[in-house]
Structure 1
């Protein structure tokens, strides 16, 4: 694993577990096993490191959600939570902790969420015989995001409930 990859991995783990604000550069250097000089050489700043972490998280999430059904989409979320944990959306937490005031972070959050919505629109179209249905896509998105948030305090079972509700919506749209 190269130095930058090691740094991003360590930072993602700390940011996800402790938050962006609570994770200081000293914790990051210790977790990555490198000097602060090396950290700054590879990241530039803490805000730049956050954007690198979000980019890597987005890449992995995109891979996981390369599916073609609502059932599989929620299955991918269940798998994501099983592997990554139930701590809520790292993108929304980044946005919340920075107040949306850091353009690169705000852009990363908006791009990630736009990509998710586009994926859901694609799935809805596939599942309903090619029909464009933005209202149904929005409902599925809300179920997906809500399940992600509810999993924090209700556990992964909330994703199963959201999957069932999304499947009902898809069945109704087909009828």
Structure 2
């Protein structure tokens, strides 16, 4: 693994586990196994590293949304929680910790949430055979809520949201 990838992987683990604010550069250098000089050479700054970590996480997350049904969308969330853990949405946590006032981070968060919203709308349309903006919004809220509730309820929260989504989708089909 090259130095940059190693740094991003270590930073994502720490940011996800401890938060952005609580993760200092000393902790990052130790986890990545590199000097602070090397870290700054590859990251630039902690803010830039946060934005990079979020951009890389988005790529990984969005690949999981290559599905054509709402049920498969929630099945992927169940798998994400199983593999990645249940600590809530890293993008919303980044927004919360920075107060939306760090332009580099906020740009990544806003772009991700918009792409996510659009992808949910596409999945809903593919599933029921037509555009359904209100249903897509409901599915988005169920998904985001399940992600948050999984922190303290585990996969059970995702399963409950999956069942609720099935009812909504079933009602929307002709």
- Superposition TM-score, scaled by structure 2 size: 0.98
| 1:52 has 2:52 as partner | yes
Structure 2 unaligned regions, length at least 5: none
Residue deviations 1:21-54 (CA, integer Å, cap 9, x gap): 0000000000000000000000000000001100
Q: Determine the structure 1 residue equivalent to 2:8.
A: 8
Residues 97-122 of structure 1, C-alpha deviations (whole Å, 9 max, x = no match): 00000111111111111111111101
Q: Counterpart in 2 of 1:82?
A: 82
Whether 1:169 aligns to 2:134 is no
- Residues 118-157 of structure 1: pairs in structure 2 closer than 5 A: 118-129=118-129, 131-157=130-156
Deviation at 1:135, TM superposition (A): 0.6
* TM-score, normalised by the number of residues in structure 1: 0.98
Instruction: Detail structure 1 runs of 4+ shifted over 4 Å in the superposition.
Output: none
Q: Deviations over 1:115-168 (max 9, x none)?
A: 111111011111121x22111000000000000000001111100000111111
Instruction: Please name the residue that 2:36 is paired with.
Output: 36
Within 5 Å, give how 1:91-106 maps onto structure 2.
91-106=91-106
Q: Secondary structure at the match of 2:38?
A: helix
Stretch moving more, 116-125 or 89-98: 116-125
- What is the alpha-carbon distance in structure 1 between the residues aligned to residue 169 and residue 8 of structure 2? 38
